Amino acid sequence: MTFLVYAFKRLLLALPMLWLVLTVSFFLVRAAPGSPLDRDSELPAALKKSLAQQYGLDRPLLEQYVSFVKHAAVGDFGNSYIYRNRSVSAIIQEAFPISARLGILAMLFALSVGLTLGVISAFRQNTWIDHFIMASVVLGKSVPPMVLAPLFVAVFSVSLGLLPVAGWESGTWQYVIGPVLCLGLYDIAAIARLLRGSVLDVMRQKYIVTARAKGLGEFRIIVIHILREALMPLVTYLAPALSSILVGTVIVEQVFNIPGLGRYLISGAINRDYTLVLGIATLASALVIGMNLLADMILGLLDPRIRLQA
């Protein structure tokens, strides 16, 4: 019961947050100089006027805002300005699964490698394995995707000719493997370090001493007593990481020429495509807020102390 109350409270906080972010983005976009119709300087004034009317740009700003919020609530953002005949929701529906697939695969890859490395180095603390893993983790953290991705293409696609240079082709593994590796490396480093720290912390707890003193097997102690507790900080890390990895795909999408959300975000922003940018902004905010909400729920479920506090 307490959990339901807690969950309800968090949800109540999340919705106004989403609305606030939307409002901020709407007025940010509108406060900027220039308009999406400026680019077409060769357009006759009459046509421009009718276009402005069609997009509702001639109405007062407040009225536009109200209609934006009303429509956004049901997932309708209107038509894009650059891709004139397509609705923003259609563009998102086409591009988002691609970015999401990349992001989720990269996160799974990072999780599996990062978890293993973190646990190994915690249990072999201060041995050469630990030092080696931690040094390579720092190395991984220092090579951002914008360096890794072109390098990957240069080595595996151009020099060795093993993989295609770029493209997507409905996401077969040859096209996915490079982007996923380049995206995941940074998070491997973060996850491995986080987990090593939290495993070491838990190992110092008295109940682990008790478990040892009871004579439990090492495997049981590690999996049931240590890992269950040590994975908690990971939940807090994963939520924002998963939403930021979706932004991180921007770079990888650019290098590997993948038709994901990142490409539309950049071209929309540069061309002042109000509707497209606001649509992607809404999606991104909803993702971030939703992920944080999810993390709070999971933590509340795992640790009763948290939901009593709130």
Partner 1 sequence: MLKQFNEARAFLAAFAAPRRLPEPGALELSASLYVEAWRRLKQNRIACVSLIFLVLMALACFTGEYFLQSKWDEINFVLEATPPSFEHWFGIDDLGRDLLARVLYGGKISLSVGLISTTVSMLIGISYGAIAGYFGGWTDRLMMRFVDFLYSLPYYFIIVLIMVFFSVSSIYLLFIILALFQWLGMARLVRGQILSLKERDFVLALRSCGASHTRIIFQHLIPNTLGLVAVYATLTVPSVMMQEAFLSFIGIPFQVIGSDGIQKPVASWGTLISEGSRVFETGPWLLAFPSLFFCLTLLAINFLGDGLRDALDPNMKV
- Closest CB to partner 1 among 84 and 204? 204
- Closest CB to partner 1 among 43 and 270? 270
For residue 175, the minimal CB distance to partner 1 (Å) is 18
Alpha carbon distance 64, 199 (integer Å): 52
For residue 164, the minimal CB distance to partner 1 (Å) is 15
β-pair partners for 52: none
- Closest CB to partner 1 among 206 and 305? 206
- Closest CB to partner 1 among 7 and 29? 29
Alpha carbon distance 133, 125 (integer Å): 10
For residue 46, the minimal CB distance to partner 1 (Å) is 27
Site residues for partner 1 per CB under 8 A = 17, 20-21, 24-25, 28-29, 31-34, 125-126, 135, 138-139, 141-144, 146-147, 149-151, 153-154, 158, 200, 204, 206, 209, 212-213, 215, 240, 243-244, 247, 250-251, 254-255, 265-266, 269-270, 272, 277, 280-281, 284-285, 287-289, 292
- Closest CB to partner 1 among 240 and 304? 240
For residue 217, the minimal CB distance to partner 1 (Å) is 11
**Side chain identity at 59, as an amino acid letter?**
R
- Closest CB to partner 1 among 49 and 143? 143
Classify burial at 199, counting beta carbons within 10 Å of its beta carbon; exposed 0-12, middle 13-18, buried 19 or more.
buried
For residue 277, the minimal CB distance to partner 1 (Å) is 7
- Closest CB to partner 1 among 238 and 284? 284
For residue 111, the minimal CB distance to partner 1 (Å) is 21
For residue 215, the minimal CB distance to partner 1 (Å) is 6
Alpha carbon distance 296, 298 (integer Å): 6
Alpha carbon distance 276, 282 (integer Å): 10
- Closest CB to partner 1 among 69 and 139? 139
For residue 76, the minimal CB distance to partner 1 (Å) is 20
